[in-house]
Structure 1
């Protein structure tokens, strides 16, 4: 109801105004006492997880809680450490993930603000006149409103926004985990290809020396022309491997440049030296399968998304019930600005308003069904993420363990072929064996040494993969403030 007071009566009638406000308060109290928060209360789904990893033997099992923070430092490679530190501040995927956190936090503040009353001020000026005069007209006032969250719809929206912040933070950690793994894997690849290039060049030089020896023996009539041709052919075949390896090395270096927020070729000079392939020296405690619920950011993020969509069911449910708002306004008008403060006409109104959904073609009920279906999708996604995480760990454990066994065999083979090649060259010089035996020994030695380098790289990559699968990453402190990525 709007009540208008005569000029100069702004201070009169306090009893009437108090009584009106008291009646409005009593109505609101009754409504609030009858209110409740609708929608399901979120609980983490019950999961049936194995008690240990099925791919490990009891003797080899490391069930201690894994120390996953900054795991890459165990590789003891300062260059790799520096690349990861640089990427943590300059990678563009991380910059986008940080922005998503700021977006989620702003949405949370926005949803929380909707629970508070709102107050708006207004003012206007104009001219009003008749045949004999023109007068100024000035108006000013305030409007206040407060929608009561009787059925908890807005509370559920705030709850969903809070879960959204958690999901965004886990997304940042997952992005960081992926980034660290990609940098480490590509760094291992770059070192591996560099080592294989150096091996191919050393082997080609040795084969060219063998070719020169064969050519001299041919001129002396001590060997056939076919031996000289075979020696040249084998040296050229080994040299032909180098360009393909150079391409692979360049691709790994270029990827590292981009991952660290730089131009693709920014790291080429730094990584061209012959540093060894990183190699882990200590076993990784893998803990128990239930640990991934705490350590894997993708699992934690999927759980937060499930919680968020569970809360949104309550918001949709609340929209089906009546809504109550408390509104109030006060306005003053006069023929001059000075009149607004005194001697003006003042009007005010206060009271609750009730909105009841009566007919909407089933839209509100459909919105609830939609929210429940979305919640069910995210629950399935959460359970699938957990199973995928278990699979990742199981696969990584097997791959790393078997590659270590393979590496030991390749190391023994390389040593044997190295001795065989030395003896073959010595016996060939003494005329005890044919040149084909020398070529075969050199070819076998090169293949064994190249396979050993690849296996060593696979062990390092397997170490990276297992730490990623277990959820290893940063130390949990990630800067989320906006920062302009460096250009190089």
Structure 2
């Protein structure tokens, strides 16, 4: 066996050891959020916020719709594929932490007028970069953090999807209830028209009263048509969110808005920052940029790599493994002049990190604002709903009294018509406000929500 080891490269090891021992720190401490969080939110409740927050409404149909959407929504499925890509990139980058080993084999045949020969060869080659300054480790850690950020983004998409399902479902229920109310109001207006026409036939009314009431009946019919169109649009929107083609009419039937659950415990802003997946994503990106900066700084220092090979060559396959040639080499690459390229990359990485830190801070402020906005809107809508209910009771009483006075000839029909329209407008406004109040609660749950356990991907369900 023939062995040849390039001893000249081994003389570089003492130099590498000195450089390693005298190396200075490559980067500062990890970045911090650029603002101070408030101690508490302005309001809070007692009910705990569950990851499956939609179950708080006690609506079985909504529970089924959200579960179906988390399984079948195509945008969420696309997000899962992005997660698989990020995980694969992280695995690819982490492979640089380990030695690589390649095997080669070949056969070459040469022929001439006087002779012919065949040569067989086989070999193994290995290489490994000694990560003196942590550059390879930093790059691997950066990609791992980006994969974690993509997972958080997937979770944030699931929270957003569940919120869209709940909002669209409540809007659909409200429009269906509006349709039933419009039918009832149309029937009422028709009955009133019958009374007006009878009185006109007996000379107790003028034609203007009949025309006004006919106009109200016609407007009631038009409202039915408008609501029917809105119901169709919302059904199409909900079907697409469920991963179904629009136009299918297998959605659940429900015309009753649920009651508003008790106000949830908002906790403190510091807990919100730890819980919300979109903020987790933003922070993971900051951490990844921090690792990129460390890698850029480390790239300015020397690199040391080791290469080893084992080769054999023979004229017959049987003799191929009789003789070997082994080599071991250590290579040191020291950057000397690069025109400022590496220094510029450090500055760029610092700027990227600074940008992401500020974006993270803005995301935190936006998250806190979303909670506070939802709390303010809910308080205002509760007050509005109570006021509308009071107004509706008064309007109903007013209409009944004016109707009786009109039948007795004490007031004009125009006063009755105005009271009737006010009463019906308030009935419609109450339904709309109830739906808006529920959707405001959905916004509050979304602002407080953490990761949805049922939407967490596993390697077992990869398509």
Cα distance in 1, alignment partners of residues 13 and 265 from structure 2: 63
Cα distance in 1, alignment partners of residues 250 and 423 from structure 2: 30
1:314 alignment counterpart:
294
Cα distance in 1, alignment partners of residues 289 and 137 from structure 2: 14
User: How far did 1:162 drift?
Assistant: 1.9
1:402-441 deviations in whole A, cap 9, x for unaligned? 1001101101111222222233333333333322222112
Which structure 2 segments of 5+ residues have no match? none
Identify the match of residue 420 of structure 1 among 378, 395, 398.
398
User: Residue 40 of structure 1 contacts residue 310 of structure 1 at CA under 8 Å; is this kept in 2?
Assistant: no
Q: Does residue 471 in structure 1 map to residue 449 in structure 2?
A: yes
User: Residue 197 of structure 1 contacts residue 242 of structure 1 at CA under 8 Å; is this kept in 2?
Assistant: yes
Give the alignment's Cα RMSD to 1 decimal.
Answer: 2.6
The SS at the match of 1:270 is coil
Compared with structure 1, are the counterparts of its residues 452 and 386 closer, same or farther at alpha carbon in structure 2 (3 Å cutoff)?
same
1:247-286 deviations in whole A, cap 9, x for unaligned? 22222211111111111223x4535x45212331312221
Which structure 1 segments of 5+ residues have no match? 1-8
- How many residues were matched structurally? 463
The SS at the match of 1:400 is helix
Cα distance in 1, alignment partners of residues 400 and 58 from structure 2: 34
The SS at the match of 1:135 is strand
User: Residue 277 of structure 2 contacts residue 450 of structure 2 at CA under 8 Å; is this kept in 1?
Assistant: no
Cα distance in 2, alignment partners of residues 477 and 187 from structure 1: 20
The SS at the match of 2:36 is coil
1:47 alignment counterpart:
35
The SS at the match of 1:412 is helix
User: Residue 37 of structure 1 contacts residue 153 of structure 1 at CA under 8 Å; is this kept in 2?
Assistant: no
Q: Does residue 298 in structure 1 map to residue 278 in structure 2?
A: yes
Relative to the length of structure 1, the TM-score reads 0.88
Cα distance in 2, alignment partners of residues 310 and 276 from structure 1: 52
Cα distance in 2, alignment partners of residues 245 and 301 from structure 1: 40
2:164 alignment counterpart:
182
Identify the match of residue 63 of structure 2 among 81, 84, 104.
81
Identify the match of residue 192 of structure 1 among 152, 160, 174.
174
Relative to the length of structure 2, the TM-score reads 0.93
Q: Does residue 442 in structure 1 map to residue 423 in structure 2?
A: no
User: 84-93 or 35-44: which moved more?
Assistant: 35-44
Compared with structure 1, are the counterparts of its residues 269 and 206 closer, same or farther at alpha carbon in structure 2 (3 Å cutoff)?
farther
Cα distance in 2, alignment partners of residues 483 and 260 from structure 1: 19
User: 382-391 or 243-252: which moved more?
Assistant: 243-252
1:270 alignment counterpart:
251
